Amino acid sequence: GAGVSQTPSNKVTEKGKYVELRCDPISGHTALYWYRQSLGQGPEFLIYFQGTGAADDSGLPNDRFFAVRPEGSVSTLKIQRTERGDSAVYLCASSPTGHEQFFGPGTRLTVL
Amino acid sequence: DQQVKQNSPSLSVQEGRISILNCDYTNSMFDYFLWYKKYPAEGPTFLISISSIKDKNEDGRFTVFLNKSAKHLSLHIVPSQPGDSAVYFCAASENSGYALNFGKGTSLLVTP
């Protein structure tokens, strides 16, 4: 079956712009996670959805970051007023149980 | 504060030999541990996991050992194959929430 898909695979934007990153989880997975990975680091947790609601958003770095999952499937991570420090690979994962998480290929965001 | 630590950034092993990757953690509330493998430009791929009620879990060539008193786990790959060359991430979670805390990764190179 299809795995987690993320679009776009690459996004280049200018400082101050708004970006949206999309995640399509594995069908039937109720849990969805966003992480971001900077060079030389492991993935860092951002937010976790159980169904449509954000069960844990403690990893969002500030109020420029927001994520939604309106129908309990596809999720969008939104970043306002992007900064150069936001440049990273943004990873989405889904899970049927909450323990083993299955990751997508990521979106590489570059803020110039 | 890094709660999951992989102190060896890289490891080189000859094909056919055992690879041992190590991971230490500081949070005593962690009760589920996972290993992920990552190739360049791809998302992390789930390899194997272990619950804190066990001290060993085996899946084919991969075995994970957990020493709770030392807050240490290790991944053994026997025999190592060139296709195992990748970055390996250790991750841990608390039962109360499912956010994964990752180490910085160990780059494994298996040489023919």
CB atoms within 10 A of CB B1: 4
Omega before residue A8 within 30° of 0, cis: yes
The verdict on a CB contact (< 8 Å) between A100 and B34 is yes
Say what the pLDDT of residue A2 is.
Answer: 83
The verdict on a CB contact (< 8 Å) between B43 and A106 is yes
Between strands B101-102 and B4-5, the pairing is unpaired
Say what the pLDDT of residue A1 is.
Answer: 56
* Residue of B98, B102, B106 to mutate when probing chain A, most A C-beta within 10 A: B98
Gyration radius of chain A over CA positions:
13
* CB distance A109 to A86 below 8 Å: yes
Residue A44 has pLDDT above 80, yes or no: yes
A85-100: pLDDT as tens digits: 999 999 999 998 767 8
- Average pLDDT estimate for A19-29: 96
B65/B67 Cα distance (integer angstroms): 7
* CB distance B21 to B13 below 8 Å: no
- Average pLDDT estimate for B53-79: 97
Q: Is the alpha carbon torsion for B45, A24, A52, A33 positive or negative?
A: positive
Q: DSSP string covering A83-100, please? A: -GGG-EEEEEEEESSSSS
Rounded to whole angstroms, what are the CA distances from A67 to A35, B3, B6, B31, B102? 12, 25, 30, 28, 21
Residue B95 has pLDDT above 80, yes or no: no
Of B97 and B67, the structure prediction assigns the larger pLDDT to B67
Percent of chain A with pLDDT over 70: 98
* CB distance A21 to A6 below 8 Å: yes
Asked if the C-beta of A25 comes within 8 angstroms of chain B's C-beta atoms, the answer is: no
B69-83: pLDDT as tens digits: 999 999 999 999 999
Residues of chain B in contact with residue A99, where contact means CB-CB under 8 angstroms, are 32, 34, 49, 93, 98
Residue B96 has pLDDT above 60, yes or no: no
Omega before residue B112 within 30° of 0, cis: no
* CB distance B51 to B31 below 8 Å: yes
Residue B105 has pLDDT above 70, yes or no: yes
Asked if the C-beta of B42 comes within 8 angstroms of chain A's C-beta atoms, the answer is: yes
Q: Which two tokens stand for residue B15?
A: 């094909």
Say what the pLDDT of residue B97 is.
Answer: 57
Closest alpha carbon within chain B to A58: B99
* CB distance B66 to B55 below 8 Å: yes
Find tokens 């007023």 and name the residue.
A81
Chain B closest CA to A53's CA: distance in Å? 14
The verdict on a CB contact (< 8 Å) between A58 and B44 is no
Residue B98 has pLDDT above 90, yes or no: no
B10-35: pLDDT as tens digits: 999 999 999 999 999 999 999 999 99
Residue type present at position B25: Y
Chain B closest CA to A99's CA: distance in Å? 6
